[in-house]
Amino acid sequence: MKHLKLKDIPCDKCKLAHSEAAIKYKKNNYDKVVKQNNQSSNKYYYENNEKAKQIRKSWKLNNKDKVRSHWRKRHAIKMGLGHEFYTEQQVIDQHGTVCHICLKNINLSLNRKDPMGFQIDHVIPLSKGGEDRLDNVKPSHAKCNQQKGSS
């Protein structure tokens, strides 16, 4: 620990010892650490509310696949079903851009809420016990997916 006190560049042995000590402290003082983290986090968000909202909004806009995956995962877990992370690009790479219901091309430039826009369809619907996994999803038009329902 001599290196850290002198503010020199610590050697690997000192880094390891410091990280092990930090892990041990967190385990032995879990409640205290959580309370401190929550207080500082809450204080930051309270003092920087608008900035924090903008950061969250920006993150959601830049990480649409992660946001959608989060909600698909949440829905699957609520129903007691399996889930694996996948992106819309993985679905397109695996199945192409043809709607598996009407067999027509999907225009990827359209918004997903547009009737001819891209949506992910669960082949075996979650309501029928199908899991939220890459092998149970295929691309579809929003219109086709909605008309199909959970049949």
Please report, in tens digits, the pLDDT of each residue of the chain (151 residues total): 455 555 566 677 777 788 888 888 888 988 888 888 878 777 887 888 898 889 999 999 999 888 988 888 898 888 889 888 888 899 999 999 999 999 999 999 988 889 999 999 999 998 899 999 999 999 999 999 888 876 5
140, β-bridge pairs:
119
Q: Based on the domain organization, do 39 and 71 belong to the same domain?
A: no
Rounded to an integer, what distance in angstroms lies between the CA atom of residue 145 and that of residue 2?
64
Q: Could you tell me which residues come within 8 angstroms of residue 107 by beta carbon, excluding any fewer than 6 positions away?
A: 116, 117, 118
Domain that holds residue 38: 2-59
What token pair was written down for 19?
């990280």
Rounded to an integer, what distance in angstroms lies between the CA atom of residue 141 and that of residue 105?
9
Number of domains composing the chain = 2
Q: Based on the domain organization, do 94 and 46 belong to the same domain?
A: no
pTM score, two decimals? 0.59
Q: Based on the domain organization, do 47 and 121 belong to the same domain?
A: no
